Amino acid sequence: MMLGIPDAVIQELGSELSFSQSELDELSTSVIEGCTNALEHGNHMKSEKPVRLSIDFERTRIEVTIFDNGPGFDFETIDFSKEPADLMQERGRGIYIMFTYCDELSFFRSDGSFAVKMVKKAKETSVENGN
């Protein structure tokens, strides 16, 4: 899994914008979670099925959409803010992490793809400091 690539892209892009390192790390981690889900659950690790990323940005806002070829899941019935019931469970934290780290998180279906869209906004202190 080449998850280092989206991480590097977000880190490089964000360093040119008005985001703090912690904000970039939070978005990067969220994008990695989104890509992991797309590869594992959406495309079932089939290499011939691509995962596509779309990144839109302005100085204080980055929007990342991740598309896979799977049917998706019943996202309308899931409470994203709910932590895993068992602290020791080994899986099931991805969406919770994305929800916690991002300012906006949504799922949708489009042209046979399933997608997750996440938005991260730079906080005012980051903008003032120009970090």
Residues lying near another protein in the complex (CB under 8 A):
1, 3-4, 7, 21-22, 25-26, 28-29, 32-33, 36, 83-84, 87-94, 96-97, 100-101
Nearest distance in Å: CB 7, another protein: 6
The residue (of 4 and 112) whose beta carbon lies closer to another protein is 4
Of 37, 49, 40, 24, the residue nearest 120 (C-alpha):
24
Nearest distance in Å: CB 19, another protein: 14
The residue (of 7 and 67) whose beta carbon lies closer to another protein is 7
Nearest distance in Å: CB 26, another protein: 7
Q: Which two tokens stand for residue 2?
A: 């080449």
Residue 58: count of CB within 10 angstroms of its CB: 11
Q: What is the CA radius of gyration of the chain?
A: 15
Asked whether 94 and 36 are in contact (CB, 8 A), the reply is yes
Asked whether 117 and 63 are in contact (CB, 8 A), the reply is yes
The residue (of 26 and 68) whose beta carbon lies closer to another protein is 26
The residue (of 42 and 94) whose beta carbon lies closer to another protein is 94
Asked whether 31 and 7 are in contact (CB, 8 A), the reply is yes
Nearest distance in Å: CB 21, another protein: 8
